[in-house]
Amino acid sequence: METPAAPSAEAKPKDRIVVLGRIAGLFGVKGWIKIQSYTDPPENLLDYPVWQLNQRGQWTEARWAEGRPANRMVLGRLENVNDRDQAQAMVGADIGVWRSELPPPAPGEYYWEDLTGLDAYSPSGQWLGKVDHFRETAVHPLMVISGAGEHLVPLVKQRLLAVDLAAGRMTVDWDPDW
């Protein structure tokens, strides 16, 4: 079976919005919202006082006024949002922050956003595809690598052999025939 040639790596903008959560619903009648946070732990989302909200493809700046963790979610209220009707208009919005506001990852750790779009290769140098997105599972996240086929590669240290963000590539312990 012939391996398709790898397309050239496309550079990501250095400062871009990284989605860290989503407004999932309402809480009470005073403008509070339920937030599905993608950070670990969920309340880390509250470390960013200025958010970018994406509603219908448009990003706008918002500041949170108050918030607190609640189970596996975050409850909060944005500045100038004081009633349920105002909050209702934001349900479904993605919450992001500028990439430059995120702390640098520890050595050997990566933000999913930084891995998305990288070309993935097997240890023998065969191109598997591009990292398209990630899926959460009960055990560990999976990288979805799309190329000639689709590969669901566990995102664990044993599988992630090398990452070169500048070159736009990574090597994973994965056979193209799996």
pLDDT at 12: 55
Q: What does R_g of the chain's alpha carbons equal in angstroms?
A: 19
In this prediction, residue 87 carries a pLDDT of: 96
Give the pLDDT confidence score for residue 145 in this predicted structure: 98
* Range 102-116 average pLDDT: 90
SS3 of residue 114 by DSSP:
helix
Task: Tell me the C-alpha distance between 56 and 63, whole Å.
Answer: 19
Burial zone of 30 (CB within 10 Å; 0-12 exposed, 13-18 middle, 19+ buried): exposed
State the DSSP code for 8.
P
- 114 with 102: CB under 8 angstroms? no
The C-alpha atoms of residue 103 and residue 93 are separated, in whole angstroms, by 23
The domains of the chain, with CATH numbers, are: 17-100 (2.40.30.60), 112-172 (2.30.30.240)
pLDDT tens digits for range 2-45: 334 444 444 455 688 999 999 999 999 999 999 999 888 999 99
* Confidence at residue 3, expressed as pLDDT on a 0 to 100 scale: 39
Tell me: the pLDDT tens digits for 36-83?
998 889 999 999 999 999 999 999 999 999 999 998 899 999 999 999
Mean pLDDT over 149-153 rounds to 95
Predicted pLDDT at 13: 59
For residues 60 and 146, what is the distance between their CA atoms, to the nearest angstrom? 32
**Burial zone of 107 (CB within 10 Å; 0-12 exposed, 13-18 middle, 19+ buried):** exposed
Angstrom distance (rounded) from CA 19 to CA 13: 15
Q: How many CB atoms lie within 10 A of CB 150?
A: 11
In tens, the pLDDT along 157-176 reads: 999 999 999 999 999 999 99
What is the secondary structure of 146-170 as a DSSP string? ESSSEEEEE-STTTEEEEETTTTEE
Cβ neighbourhood burial of 89 (10 Å; 0-12, 13-18, 19+):
exposed
